């Protein structure tokens, strides 16, 4: 059988760091002009790197204090609250642990599942309520559950939740875009994006970009 591909594949032999650096060069070249600050761009660039989707190079929205708030929260050793295990797994733990931080996720806890069943609601909603009770401040990284983001927004409005930063980038067709629109109306530090796109890779890349900057800044002191 003849192949439609005529270019012979050659495996890469360069180091992972070199591949990443080359990828970032390609992203910068292909994205072109953008409206982000250098620090915001580092987040957007890493999101594009994680998704291969250049739309994030123009659709991400940053509260003016988001980058500083995120870096400072990490340097204080505050916890990262993830909505699902996929986000928890992807976040670089050593950088957080060097500041005394960790990543928490509650959605599969037995008490969360039992309460969600009792109240006939989603585990995502109950997990956010538990997180707010157990974590003071913290960075909330929500990549999958719009209901989790909407519940967090409600708790912020009621003065119950006081996160240091909300990374709200859920993916989906039901309430995903709307939940991000509501987040962008809040006067708290947030990172989000316009539209239905998002997901675990976006949330993970955002946290990892912030922890990299936090580590770099700490290293200069």
Q: What percent of the chain has pLDDT over 70?
A: 93
For residues 200 and 203, give the distance between their C-alpha atoms in angstroms, rounded to a whole number: 5
Question: Which tens digits make up the pLDDT trace of 78-133?
Answer: 999 999 999 999 999 999 999 999 999 999 999 999 999 999 999 999 999 999 99
Residue 212: the pLDDT is 97
Q: Which residues are marked as active site?
A: 49
- CB-based contacts of 46: which residues, under 8 Å, 6+ apart? 205, 206, 208, 209
Exposure class string for 107-145: b at 16+ Cβ within 10 A, else e: beeeebeebbeeeeebbbbbbbbbbbeebebbbbbbbbb
130-153 pLDDT per residue, tens: 999 999 999 999 999 999 999 999
Helix residue ranges per DSSP H, the chain: 16-31, 38-51, 56-59, 66-75, 85-90, 93-97, 110-119, 123-134, 146-157, 176-183, 200-219
Least confident range of 22-31, 45-54, 128-137: 22-31
**Do the strands 60-62 and 190-193 form a parallel or antiparallel pair, or are they unpaired?**
antiparallel
The per-residue pLDDT for 1 is: 46
What the chain holds in terms of domains, given with CATH numbers, is: 61-219 (3.40.50.10230)
pLDDT tens by residue, 184-195: 999 999 999 999
């Amino acid at each position: 059988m003849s192949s439609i591909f005529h270019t012979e594949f050659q495996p890469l032999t360069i180091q992972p760091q070199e591949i990443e650096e080359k990828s970032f060069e390609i992203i910068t070249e292909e994205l072109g002009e953008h409206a982000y600050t250098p620090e915001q761009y580092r987040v957007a660039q890493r999101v594009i790197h994680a998704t291969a989707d250049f739309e994030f190079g123009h659709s991400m929205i940053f509260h003016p204090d988001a980058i500083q708030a995120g870096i400072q929260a990490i340097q204080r050793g505050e916890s990262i609250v993830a909505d699902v295990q996929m986000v928890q797994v992807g976040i670089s733990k050593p950088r957080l642990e060097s500041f005394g931080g960790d990543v928490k996720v509650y959605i599969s806890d037995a008490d969360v599942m039992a309460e969600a069943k009792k109240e006939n609601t989603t585990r995502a909603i109950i997990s956010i309520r538990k997180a707010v009770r157990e974590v003071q401040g913290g960075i909330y990284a929500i990549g999958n559950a719009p209901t989790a983001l909407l519940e967090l927004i409600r708790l912020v409005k009621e003065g119950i939740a006081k996160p240091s930063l909300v990374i709200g980038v859920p993916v989906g067709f039901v309430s995903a875009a709307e939940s991000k629109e509501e987040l962008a109306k809040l006067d708290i530090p947030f990172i989000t994006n316009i539209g239905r796109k998002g997901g675990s890779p976006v949330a993970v890349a955002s946290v990892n970009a912030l922890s990299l900057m936090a580590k770099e800044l700490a290293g200069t002191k």
